């Protein structure tokens, strides 16, 4: 029987320091909301997973995004913001009858990886733990709850900074905010949490104290990479996380045989697959899900906006933008062009300044254009969708193409050139 895991993701916070009307978990990195990165890391676990997202601030917007993109995810509303323990408690009724393993994490930690979550679960099981807290270490742990361990390496308690004494403040190991629970045992904690603190909130960290008092085994799994638990609380944090994610993936690509000419100016979504011996030139930005085959040249200053497939041996030149485009082998899209909602065959040549007019701003419809193998488009042309241009057809420069073009034909759609002799001379003489 396939192993099952349930996940509770906390996504109800407002994110006051973001200074935004947008719910914090919907702020994006590489065109994907923060909550999406977390959910995808959970979904990739080698188990049957189901996630419950606790929503609150901007609940309608978050729920709408999740319903559109994550059919396997359920939501529950935390109407009143009464703390992280209270947030988890809202998900308890949705786990009625479930007695397996539950992980709890935050929706604003987009750098957490599937590998680390899997290691946490395995550690939890291998050590016979009832509650496992993910921890990490910082040279400067200011602001984090300190982990207090026993001589048996179990976790005794988590001490928040404001409550820590001088000795405890020197501890480098801190709470990472991710938990793995034996739900059959620990679920009862969320009925017993107290809010007798200055904030009047129910803290998730108090389940450690509850578990110890009830003779349950509490362990700590140390996450070696403290960047993975980086939480987003400001626009500055968003930029930092974006750069961490970027660097992490660029290093992976280069290790696999992709040339990144200037990693400092290049941004590539981790959802983009790139083949060996492809060269990515400086100031290229690639977001969303894309597939780029081997031996391609991309950029400099190219922009891929998602759902693009670029086959082997293609060149996407400088100041080229692609969106929802499929491009076959050995095709060149030269500089200063926009290719949107299009299918280009092999050995196609797109001249400089070519625009695919794919969007009707009145009807809000997007149409698709198809260029068959061997098509050549002259510079400064406009391809008005929907059209199909046949194999080996030639479109003359500065043409506006609004109708299908047959194979091997020359298509020209531009006004006839006129010349008015001595026009400039005559104007000057009149002055």
pLDDT digits (tens, 9 = 90+) for 198-242: 788 899 999 999 999 999 999 999 999 999 999 999 999 999 999
pLDDT of residue 1: 60
Q: Is the peptide bond before 268 cis (omega within 30 degrees of 0)?
A: no
Q: Is the pLDDT of residue 120 over 90?
A: yes
As a whole number of angstroms, the distance between CA 318 and CA 173 comes to 47
CA angle, 82 then 168 then 208, to 5° = 40
For the stretch 326-344, pLDDT in tens is: 999 999 998 999 999 999 9
pLDDT bin (cut points 50, 70, 90) of residue 14 is confident
pLDDT band for position 163 (cuts 50, 70, 90): confident
Stretch 358-384: mean pLDDT, rounded?
Answer: 95
Domain layout of the chain by residue ranges:
4-229, 256-411
302 closest CA partner among 254, 264, 354, 267: 267
Residue pLDDT, tens place only, 266-322: 999 999 999 999 999 999 999 999 999 999 999 999 999 999 999 999 999 999 999
Active-site positions read 335
d(CA 53, CA 64): 12
Which pLDDT score, from 0 to 100, does residue 389 have? 98
Tell me the two tokens of residue 313. Answer: 């041996």
Kindly give, in sequence order, each residue whose CB lies less than 8 Å from that of residue 315, ignoring residues fewer than 6 positions away. Answer: 296, 297, 331, 332, 333, 334
CB-based contact 55:67 (threshold 8 Å):
no
Q: What is the mean pLDDT of residues 48-74?
A: 95
Rounded to an integer, the average pLDDT of 75-90 is: 95
How many whole angstroms separate alpha carbon 121 and alpha carbon 7?
A: 12
Q: For 256-411, which CATH superfamily applies? A: Hexapeptide repeat proteins (2.160.10.10)
CATH of domain 4-229: 3.90.550.10
Q: pTM of the full predicted structure? A: 0.90
Q: How far is CA 413 from CA 119, 348, 422, in A?
A: 62, 19, 28
């Amino acid at each position: 029987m396939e192993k099952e895991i349930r996940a509770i993701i906390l996504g109800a916070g407002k994110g006051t320091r973001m200074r935004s009307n947008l719910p914090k978990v919907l702020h994006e990195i590489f065109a994907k909301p923060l909550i999406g990165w977390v959910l995808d890391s959970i979904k990739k676990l080698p188990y049957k997973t189901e996630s419950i997202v606790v929503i609150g601030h901007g609940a309608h917007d978050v729920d709408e995004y999740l319903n559109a993109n994550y059919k396997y995810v359920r939501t529950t509303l935390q109407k009143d913001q009464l703390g992280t323990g209270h947030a988890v408690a809202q998900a308890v009724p949705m786990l009625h009858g479930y007695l397996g393993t539950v992980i709890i994490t935050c929706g604003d930690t987009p750098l957490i990886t599937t590998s680390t979550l899997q290691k946490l679960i395995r550690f939890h099981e291998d050590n016979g733990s009832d509650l496992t807290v993910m921890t990490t270490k910082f040279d400067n742990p200011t602001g984090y709850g300190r982990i207090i361990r026993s001589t048996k390496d179990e976790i005794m308690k988590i001490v928040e900074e404001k409550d820590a004494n001088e000795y405890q403040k020197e501890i480098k190991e801190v709470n990472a905010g991710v938990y793995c629970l034996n739900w059959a045992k620990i679920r009862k904690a969320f009925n017993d949490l107290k809010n007798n603190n200055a904030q009047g909130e129910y803290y998730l960290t108090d389940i450690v104290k509850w578990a110890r008092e009830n003779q349950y085994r509490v362990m700590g799994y140390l996450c070696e990479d403290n960047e993975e638990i980086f939480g987003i609380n400001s626009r500055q944090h968003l930029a930092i996380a974006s750069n961490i994610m970027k660097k992490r993936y660029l290093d992976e690509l280069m290790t696999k045989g992709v040339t990144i000419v200037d990693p400092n100016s290049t941004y590539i979504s981790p959802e983009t697959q790139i083949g060996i011996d492809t060269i990515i030139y400086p100031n290229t930005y690639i977001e969303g899900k894309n597939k780029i085959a081997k031996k391609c040249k991309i950029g400099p200053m190219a922009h891929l906006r998602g759902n693009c497939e670029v086959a082997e041996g293609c060149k996407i030149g400088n100041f080229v933008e692609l969106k929802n485009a499929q491009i076959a082998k050995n095709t060149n899209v030269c500089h200063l062009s926009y290719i949107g909602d299009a299918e280009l065959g092999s050995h196609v040549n797109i001249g400089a300044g070519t625009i695919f007019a794919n969007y009707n701003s009145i009807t809000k419809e997007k149409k698709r254009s198809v260029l068959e193998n061997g098509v050549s488009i002259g510079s400064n042309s406009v391809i008005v969708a929907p059209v199909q241009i046949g194999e080996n057809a030639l479109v003359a420069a500065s043409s506006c193409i609004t109708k299908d073009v047959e194979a091997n034909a020359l298509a020209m759609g531009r006004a006839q050139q006129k010349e008015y002799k001595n026009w400039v001379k005559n104007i000057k003489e009149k002055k």
